[in-house]
Structure 1
Amino acid sequence: DMMIFMQIQDGIRMNADVEELIEALARWGCKISSQKQILEAEKQILRLSNYIRKWDYKGHTAEETRQKDKKIIQFPGGRKIYPNDACPCGSGKKYKHCCGKNK
């Protein structure tokens, strides 16, 4: 059911524990009775959590935060950055020659 899937996504996004999500599945009518089913549900929830943008990761996925070659820069909120502005990463270059180069 799509509604259950969306509830699981929201739970992951708000950092609910896997155990809490398994209990929620039971409350929503999903029949998870054996230990094997519980382990499979936990595995699928953890796999899904790698692709959900979380509040703790400031809107990034777990996979994005693990990438060492990709630099995540928090840009100042509410202000648009134009190509000729100084890059907010602090490099001293124009945005168009630094972080905005491949955009």
Structure 2
Amino acid sequence: MSNTLLEQWRAVAYNEKSDRGQLQQFWASYFQIEKEIYEQLLSNPEEEVRGTVKELAERYHQSVMTMVGFLDGIDESLKVPNPIETMDEDTEVNLVYDKELLYKNMVAAKADWLYELPQWKEIFSEEERKKLYKEQKESGTIRKGKKVGRNDPCPCGSGKKYKKCCGR
């Protein structure tokens, strides 16, 4: 069995051949576990949680596979990413997260059960949470610039009219 822990986790979590009902049940159960881990992590936001994959699984009363899924999910929000592609249960990992980045990633994932956790109220004021939420939502919005008219100065900076320069 040469598959890495991450490959094993993804084979189960994203199995195209699985029964849809079973997969929905799997994710519903996982999201509840994920929520419980985040409640504990966010309750003590200054603590730098570190240990092997196996130690963290035991600390949060989870299986190693579930912990691998959690590590996969939080990795983009960590100050120092974990070697999730190659880790085994004895790999040293951390859960030292960037608070703002974690909040924004939860918003980006549309995980309202996570970014609405009451623990966030102790970390950020309501104004800060609204600002982070808005920043994240706007980061995905594409805005078109004002269209250059034929007789406007050319945006290249030549000083000519657009129609006589780059608009040809």
TM-score w.r.t. the length of structure 2 is 0.20
Between 1 and 2, higher relative CO (CA 8 Å, sep ≥ 6) is seen in 2
Between Structure 1 and Structure 2, the one with more helix by share is: 2
Radius of gyration: which is bigger? 2
